[in-house]
Amino acid sequence: AQKVTQAQTEISVVEKEDVTLDCVYETRDTTYYLFWYKQPPSGELVFLIRRNSFDEQNEISGRYSWNFQKSTSSFNFTITASQVVDSAVYFCALSEGPSGGAQKLVFGQGTRLTINP
């Protein structure tokens, strides 16, 4: 069965520090997608990144970077030089199945990140 574990329930850092959010997943499928979403206090989930199981390249987007390692079933998310606006709950999610199908998302429990000024 699919499972996503975000072991860090809450993280609190001071502004400008780097912070890494961990995500470990379990799946029996060879084809799957991994996602990160941000949920600010307003409640809306904001899509950050999608990675498919065949693409292990790490990605950087501004202050955000993602490290995908199939060998350890991890898809970690790092924010560099954190800012107060980064404060939110971050969810890692997994979906299985072929492209174009009605793949369900399995979410981790979320990590509440607080950036203090």
Partner 1 sequence: GAVVSQHPSWVICKSGTSVKIECRSLDFQATTMFWYRQFPKQSLMLMATSNEGSKATYEQGVEKDKFLINHASLTLSTLTVTSAHPEDSSFYICSAKGQASPTDTQYFGPGTRLTVL
- Residue 104 is classified by DSSP as P
Nearest C-alpha neighbor of 25 from the set 5, 52, 50: 5
Backbone angles phi, psi at 14, to 5 degrees: -90, 145
Check residue 61 for interaction with partner 1 (CB under 8 A): no
- The yes or no reply on residue 47 touching partner 1 (CB under 8 A) is yes
99 near partner 1 (CB under 8 A): yes
110 binds partner 1 (CB under 8 A): yes
In the complex, the smallest distance separating the C-beta of residue 30 from partner 1, rounded to whole angstroms, is: 16
Binding test (CB under 8 A) with partner 1, winner from 76, 82, 87, 95: 95
d(Cα 116, Cα 99) in Å, to the nearest integer?
A: 40
What are the residues whose beta carbons fall under 8 Å from the beta carbon of 100, sequence distance 6 or more? none
* CA 24 to each of CA 5, 34, 41, 77, 86: distance values in angstroms, whole numbers, following the listed order: 5, 10, 25, 11, 22
Least distance in Å: CB of 21 to partner 1? 14
Among 1, 14, 85, 102, binds partner 1 (CB under 8 A): 102
Q: Which of 41, 62, 100, 117 binds partner 1 (CB under 8 A)?
A: 100
64 makes contact with partner 1 (CB under 8 A): no
54 binds partner 1 (CB under 8 A): no
75 belongs to the binding site for partner 1 (CB under 8 A): no
